[in-house]
Each structure stands twice: as C-alpha cells, then as structure tokens.
C-alpha cells in the first residue's frame, strides 16, 4: 500500500524536525491531500494508526484536508474549479487545461509540546 510509505516518510520527517525543535509530543498534524495526489485519505488515516504508537505520536490527531481541484484554461486564461473530474473549461468549454493544484500531498503544519 502506497499510503504506508507516505505516512512512514511523514512520520520520519516530523520525528527529525521535532527532535531539532525539542518537541516531545505531537498533538496535531495537518496534511494537505490533493484529490489527484494518489493518496487515499482513508488509507492515510489507517496507515497513521499503524505508525503512531510511539511516545511522540500517541496523542497526535491526523487532520487531512482535501483542497478543491483548480484548473487554468490555456485557451481563455481563466481559472476555475474542476468538479467531478470534468476537465473542460467552464468558460469556453475547451479541454486545454492545466492543473494548478490537486496533485499535492504534504504536511501543511504540525503542532506539539
Ligand atoms: Zn477556457
């Protein structure tokens, strides 16, 4: 499962950052998971339960935010929300679209003591 690897590397990243900052307990992790990132939110949450059984993470809450898909039309230069995987410009109906977001998966921030 792809998400196991994603969560594992997130845990590693936060662990080393927490050590640098002298944080001994992570309270909250805020993850941004674009709709086309390839990471399934439920699977991410499940993977997190497998890796969070350590003193640093045992009280941590994982929040996953799924931002809306935004595209930019290369024909008329408008930006718009993409709904239901319809990759067509809502202004000029052309399909020459560039994705502005949706493929990202990253730690927005985390909090701890
Ligand atoms: Zn357009």
| Ligand 1 centre distance from Cα of residue 94 (Å) | 6
Q: What is the pLDDT of residues 21-71, one digit of tens each?
A: 999 999 999 999 998 898 999 999 999 999 999 999 999 999 999 998 999
Query: How far does the centroid of ligand 1 lie from the alpha carbon of residue 96, in Å?
Result: 8
Rounded-to-integer distance, Cα 24 and Cα 64, Å: 22
The DSSP secondary-structure symbol of 58 reads: T
**How far does residue 28's CA lie from ligand 1's centre (Å)?**
40
User: What is the model's pLDDT at position 84?
Assistant: 81
pTM of the model: 0.83
The token duo for 20 is 């640098």
Buried b or exposed e, range 35-70, using 16+ CB within 10 angstroms: eebebbbeebeebbeeebeeebbeebebebeeeebe
For 61-112, write each residue's pLDDT tens digit: 999 999 989 999 999 999 999 988 788 999 999 999 999 988 899 999 999 9
Question: 98 C-alpha to center of ligand 1: Å?
Answer: 11
> Ligand 1 centre from 52 Cα, in Å?
45
Which residues sit with Cβ closer than 5 angstroms to ligand 1, an ion?
73, 75-76, 89, 91-92
Tell me the domain boundaries of the chain: 2-68+102-112
Tell me the pLDDT tens digit for each residue of 81-94. Answer: 998 878 899 999 99
Go through the chain and tell me how many residues it has: 113
Measured CA to CA, the distance from residue 39 to residue 2 in angstroms comes to 7
Domain 2-68+102-112 fold is hypothetical protein PF0899 fold (3.30.2320)
């Amino acid at each position: 499962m792809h998400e196991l690897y994603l969560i594992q590397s997130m845990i590693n990243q936060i662990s080393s950052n927490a050590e640098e900052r002298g944080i001994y307990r992570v309270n909250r992790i805020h993850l941004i998971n674009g709709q086309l990132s390839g990471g399934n939110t439920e699977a991410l949450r499940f993977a997190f339960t497998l890796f969070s059984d350590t003193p640093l993470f045992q009280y941590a809450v994982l929040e996953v935010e799924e931002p809306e898909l935004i595209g930019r039309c290369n024909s008329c230069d408008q930006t718009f929300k993409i709904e239901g995987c319809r990759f067509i410009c809502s202004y000029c109906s052309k399909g020459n679209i560039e994705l502005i977001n949706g493929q990202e998966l990253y730690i927005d921030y985390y909090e701890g003591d």
